[in-house]
Amino acid sequence: MSARRETPRPRARSGSPSIRAALQNAELAAATGAAPAELIAAALASRPGGTLPELMEALRCAQPELERLAVHGAPELARRPAKLGPKLEFEPELARVRPDLRDHEIRGKLLFQDLLGRRSFFQVAAWSIAGVELSALDARLLEQLGVNTQLLDPHIWPLAVARRIASHGGPLARSLIGGVAALFTSNITIEPVGAFMRFLDETQSAVARGESVESFVAAQLRRRRTIAGFGRPVLGPDERVPHALRLAKRHRRGTGDSVLLAQAVEGELRACRAPSCATWGSCPTLRPPSAPSTSWCRSWPSTLSSWSAAWPAARVREQRGDDRPGDLGDDTDRADGNTFRTSGRPTRRESRSLLAAS
């Protein structure tokens, strides 16, 4: 009598393009010496979307390969450049190493020959992101707006995530992964900034058609539309806005179309008694009128936000009063207020880690 064959349960195809991409990225992470948690993060981040059950199933399909990488790494990849498929190769590349010139190329400019010593960091960033030639004055404004944007209270959600990971012994990379996962979302940082700029685009288009700011804003409120950039429900009115406006004025951007338009929108919201506590102060000052939604004017906060996630993570051990890795236990049970010290400088090692991360 033959044994009854068990019907295999359905599973996601391990050969699907998304699974292959996930494993390829996990291999590259393993080549750098990434720990198992970072391998999983690299694999899951490769998935374009999906529900939680779909992501868990994809992870289950990839588990044998991820286990192999966690144990053996990827030494065959560790001493050669990463390979990209034809769909990920472009000619010309926006940025590449030029061994023939012993230089690096960014959008047709050579880093050492054309940019180093001639352009600031933010000028090079604007050029590399969108090919924008930022003036020295605008670059200084952007840098000062970055200083003004530093909001580093550890009770802010992503920063609390980063601190908790670090307090339980997580390395800086893992703290950044967790913090950034809660940072670039629909409710905080880049996406709301982009939504705010798109709303300015729409308002500007309506005004160009002959509609008033008052009627346009009133129509949006009647539709119960959420207007990004004009609310900070947890902390209330944003204390950074007046400083940002003074910076804009000092750098000859205080009367730009975008700044005036944002102020007009806020005025209408106040007149309509809509909930408004402006957070937009640093957003429109460098919004180019010819291309108001270009990626560079939305992307510069990402570097600052990543630094914000790194800072509380790197300071945890110093604030605890020692430089030992380890688990602080369940921080929710600590109510004596003495878990962390509140002043002092980061250690040399933490400072080096911060600089490398930024």
Share of the chain above pLDDT 90, in %: 30
**Same domain? 96 vs 35:** no
Whether 263 is in a domain gets the answer yes
Q: Say if residue 188 is in the same domain as residue 125.
A: no
Asked if 59 and 175 sit in the same domain, the reply is no
54 and 127 in a common domain? no
Out of 101, 134, 167, a domain closes at: 134
Domain boundary among 112, 134, 156: 134
Give yes or no: residues 254 and 290 share one domain.
yes
DSSP-assigned beta bridge partners for residue 96:
105
The residue-averaged pLDDT of 309-318 equals 52
Q: Which domain holds residue 210?
A: 135-321+344-358
pLDDT tens for residues 141-156? Answer: 988 988 888 878 888 8
Closest CA to 200 of 296, 285, 299: 285
pLDDT of 275 reads 55
Identify the H or E element spanning 106.
strand 103-106
The answer to the question of residue 86 being in a domain is: no
Same-domain pairing of 176 and 314: yes
Note whether 114 and 221 are same-domain residues: no
Residue 184 neighbours by CB under 8 Å, 6+ apart: 190, 191, 302, 305
Q: Does 270 fall in a domain?
A: yes
Question: Is the residue at 1 inside a domain?
Answer: no
Q: What whole-number distance in Å separates Cα of residue 338 and Cα of residue 164?
A: 15
54 vs 47, 57, 78, 251, 260, CA distance in Å?
Answer: 10, 5, 31, 50, 46
DSSP string, 124-153: HHHHHHH-----HHHHHHHHHHHHHH----
pLDDT of residue 319: 55
Q: Is residue 299 part of a domain?
A: yes
Q: Which DSSP symbol is given to 120? A: -
Q: Are residues 130 and 25 in the same domain?
A: no
pLDDT tens sequence across 225-244: 888 877 777 777 788 888 98
One-letter amino acid at 157 equals: W
Measured CA angle at 39 (ends 97, 152), to 5 deg: 80
CB under 8 Å to 75, separation ≥6 — which residues? Answer: 31
SS3 95: strand
Residues 171, 227: one domain? yes
Range name among 32-41, 43-52, 87-96, 266-275 with the lowest pLDDT average: 266-275
Q: pTM here?
A: 0.69
User: What's the pLDDT at 255?
Assistant: 87
229 in Cβ contact with 275 (< 8 Å):
no
pLDDT at 294 > cutoff 70: no
Cβ pair 62, 14 in contact under 8 A: yes
Note whether residue 121 is domain-resident. Answer: yes
H helices, E strands: number in the chain: 13, 3
Q: Is residue 122 part of a domain?
A: yes
Do the strands 109-110 and 103-106 form a parallel or antiparallel pair, or are they unpaired? antiparallel
Total structural domains within the chain:
3
The verdict on 240 and 317 lying in the same domain is yes
Q: Is residue 84 part of a domain?
A: no
Q: In this structure, how many other beta carbons lie within 10 angstroms of the beta carbon of residue 170?
A: 21
Same domain, 95 and 107: yes
Same domain, 116 and 220: no
